[in-house]
């Protein structure tokens, strides 16, 4: 069981869910808000760009800060910034104030890595991906409820919707202050899990050395994690394409250019996405992961997700397209929490915030690049080509994940120089040179001892 109370975990999930809820309330209203200032399409686009760039820059900074001062103060700061952003959006009298509000919201919106780091701090290896999957459940609720609440409140004016969003963030801040203790300094078991089938094993020699406070060396990001950063970029790159292209694809392919019907269908799809995401993350992921382990879960997710994109490209009707989207989302729910857990498994606990925030920053970069690339692809190639490209990108990302797992497993199997020195010292203690009856006998015994020790360690994994 986690090393904090259930209230603390619920608070972390509440932070993430409220972030998504506030985004869902305010973001769909931004074009109308901007139009009230006489803004053109370029100015409206600058609001989304400002948010994405601020999140890209500040996400890794928040992660590193949480490693230094703790998760709690960083999350409190982020929630405060979200409340301030919504309030400024509601009272903005000129367009530059609106830009500043979006800048603050983007800077404080990159809390996914910090929240995952909090979960990693207080759970053991087997629990990490399961409790991280519940963050997806919280996000899915915000994804469904946010636009619905914003649609109801818009009838009272966009300022009312912004003030309600700010008020909800204020309540969230109070709950965090009361019920969320600091997780950064809690003691944890230094034993970790193998990336193959969930069996307990020693941390790799590199990560173990990094996590040791006695060596006086600042921990660094393990090399296999960079494969996962690349995979995260490709996964989110494809999802950003889905967000960008789908609305136009529905309108042009299934509704003869009717933007109203296409927009309504797009809205239904996102509601369905939220429901499927919640169901999979809450009820399906846990038993599936416990039965099959990280590598099989990720591999299955990659295949299912890529298949979903291909089916979307081949869909003859919008109903079949909707089913294909569901297939793609099912695959996604198996991938993301598992990757986050793999990152913490191969990294020192001293840099959980940094590693997970770097991963989120990779996703933020993909959200900046994806719409630009796939928008041009949609305009200049066949409309369905984007979905095929998403499928290929997903397969490439899956290959990177498997490479990362293999590299991390290889590190676990490696006998380090320290291990050899320890065995040499031990052998010399037990078998003095004078006891060897023939030349080389002591060396053979020493070699046998090292091999036996390595075999025992591998058997333990």
Each residue's pLDDT tens digit, 78-121: 999 999 998 998 888 888 888 899 899 888 877 788 999 999 99
CA distance 150 to 162: 9
Q: What is the pLDDT of residue 387?
A: 92
Cβ-based neighbours of 27, under 8 Å, separated by 6 or more: none
Output phi, psi for 132, to 5 deg: -70, -30
Q: Assign 415 a pLDDT band (cuts: 50, 70, 90).
A: very low
State which of 45-49, 259-263, 352-356 shows the largest mean pLDDT: 352-356
Mean pLDDT score of the chain: 79
Q: What's the pLDDT at 390?
A: 92
Half-sphere exposure of 327 (CA within 13 A, CB side): 19
Handedness of CA 300, 277, 80, 183 (dihedral sign): negative
Token pair 């400002």: residue: 50
Classify residue 295 by its DSSP letter: H
Which residues, in sequence order, are CB contacts of 425 under 8 Å at separation 6+?
none
Could you give the CA distance from residue 119 to residue 111 in angstroms, rounded to a whole number?
A: 12
Q: Are 338 and 297 in contact (CB under 8 A)?
A: yes
314-346 pLDDT, tens per residue? 999 999 999 999 999 999 999 999 999 999 888
CB–CB of 8/64 below 8 Å?
no
- Contact yes or no for 309/391 (Cβ under 8 A): yes
Distance CA 128, CA 122 (A): 9
274 pLDDT more than 50 = yes
Q: What is the pLDDT of residue 3?
A: 64
Residue 305's pLDDT is what?
Answer: 96
Which structure tokens are listed for 155? Answer: 């009838």
How many Å separate Cα 279 from the centre of its chain?
18
Q: Given this model, what pLDDT does residue 394 score? A: 94
pLDDT at 427: 42
What whole-number distance in Å separates Cα of residue 304 and Cα of residue 314?
Answer: 15
Chain centre to alpha carbon of residue 28: 23
Q: What's the CATH number for 1-185? A: 1.20.1250.20
Tens of pLDDT, residue by residue over 136-172, are 888 888 878 887 787 777 778 778 888 988 998 899 8
DSSP 433: G
Helices (H), 27-94: 30-35, 41-69, 71-91
The HSE-up count of residue 45 (CA atoms within 13 Å, CB side) is 7
**Long-range CB pairs of 342-345, under 8 A, 24+ apart, other chains included:** 342/195, 342/228, 342/294, 342/298, 342/401, 342/404, 342/405, 342/408, 343/225, 343/228, 344/116, 344/117, 344/120, 344/128, 345/125, 345/128, 345/192, 345/193, 345/195, 345/408
Determine the Cα–Cα distance for residues 229 and 400; give it in Å rounded to an integer.
9
Which run of H or of E encompasses 200?
Answer: strand 200-201
351 burial type by CB count under 10 A (0-12 exposed, 13-18 middle, 19+ buried): buried
Q: What confidence category does residue 211 fall into, taking pLDDT thresholds of 50, 70 and 90? A: very low
Reported confidence tier of residue 379, pLDDT bands at 50, 70, 90: confident
pLDDT of residue 190: 38
Give the global pTM.
Answer: 0.76
* Alpha-carbon radius of gyration of the chain: 25
Q: What CATH number matches the domain at 190-200+212-414, 3.30.70.1230, 1.10.150.300, 1.20.1250.20, 3.60.10.10?
A: 1.20.1250.20
- Paired sense of beta strands 192-193 and 200-201, if any: antiparallel
Determine contact, residues 286/198, Cβ cutoff 8 Å. Answer: no
Give ∠ CA 311-271-265 in degrees, rounded to 5: 65
The predicted pLDDT at position 48 comes to 72
Residue 195's pLDDT is what?
36
pLDDT higher than 50, residue 40: yes
High-pLDDT (> 70) share of the chain, % = 77
Q: Which two tokens stand for residue 324?
A: 């294909």
DSSP state of 37: T
Q: Which of 242, 409, 263 has the alpha carbon at shortest distance from 332?
A: 242
- Rank 105-109, 298-302, 422-426 by mean pLDDT and report only the highest: 298-302
Specify the pLDDT at position 226: 94
CA distance 289 to 300: 11
The gap from C-alpha 137 to its chain's centroid, in whole angstroms, comes to 13
CA distances from 404 to 131, 190, 339, 414 (A): 22, 21, 10, 15
């Amino acid at each position: 069981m986690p090393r904090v109370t259930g209230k603390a975990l619920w608070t972390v999930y509440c932070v993430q869910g409220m972030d998504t809820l506030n985004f869902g309330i305010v973001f769909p209203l931004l074009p109308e808000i901007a139009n009230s200032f006489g803004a053109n399409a370029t100015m409206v686009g600058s609001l989304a760009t400002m948010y994405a760039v601020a999140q890209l820059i500040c996400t890794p900074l928040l992660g590193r800060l949480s490693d230094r001062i703790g998760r709690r103060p960083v999350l409190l700061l982020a929630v405060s910034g979200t409340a301030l952003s919504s309030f400024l959006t509601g009272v903005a009298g000129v367009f530059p104030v609106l830009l500043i509000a979006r800048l603050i919201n983007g800077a404080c919106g990159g809390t996914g890595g910090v929240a995952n780091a909090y979960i990693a701090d207080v759970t053991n290896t087997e629990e990490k991906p399961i409790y991280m999957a519940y963050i997806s459940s919280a996000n899915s609720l915000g994804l469904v409820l946010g636009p619905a609440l914003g649609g109801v409140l818009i009838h009272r004016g966009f300022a009312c919707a912004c003030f309600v969003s700010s008020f909800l963030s204020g309540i969230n801040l109070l709950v965090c202050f009361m019920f969320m203790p600091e997780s950064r300094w809690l003691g944890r078991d230094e034993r970790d899990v193998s990336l193959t089938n969930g069996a307990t094993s020693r941390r790799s020699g590199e990560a173990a050395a990094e996590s040791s406070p006695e060596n006086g060396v600042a921990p660094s990001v393990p090399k296999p994690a960079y494969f996962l950063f690349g995979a995260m970029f490709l996964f989110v790159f494809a999802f950003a394409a889905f967000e960008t292209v789908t609305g136009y694809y529905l309108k042009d392919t299934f509704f003869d250019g009717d933007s109203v019907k296409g927009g309504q269908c797009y809205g239904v799809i996102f509601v369905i996405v939220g429901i499927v995401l919640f169901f999979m993350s809450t009820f399906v992921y846990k038993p599936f992961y416990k039965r099959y382990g990280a590598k099989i879960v990720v591999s299955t997710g990659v295949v299912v997700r890529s298949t979903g994109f291909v089916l979307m490209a081949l869909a003859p009707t919008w109903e079949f397209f909707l089913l294909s989207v569901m297939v793609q989302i099912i695959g996604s729910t198996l991938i993301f929490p598992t990757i986050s857990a793999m990152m913490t498994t191969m990294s020192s606990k001293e840099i959980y915030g940094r590693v997970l925030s770097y991963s989120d920053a990779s996703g933020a970069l993909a959200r900046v690049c994806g719409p630009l690339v796939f928008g041009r692809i949609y305009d200049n190639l066949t409309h369905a080509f984007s979905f095929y490209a998403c499928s290929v990108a997903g397969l490439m990302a899956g290959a990177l994940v498997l490479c990362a797992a293999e590299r991390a497993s290889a590190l676990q199997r490696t006998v380090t120089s320290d291990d050899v020195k320890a065995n040499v010292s031990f052998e010399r203690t037990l078998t003095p040179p004078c006891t060897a009856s023939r030349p080389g006998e002591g060396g053979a015994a020493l070699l046998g001892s090292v091999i036996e020790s390595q075999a025992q360690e591998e058997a333990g994994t």
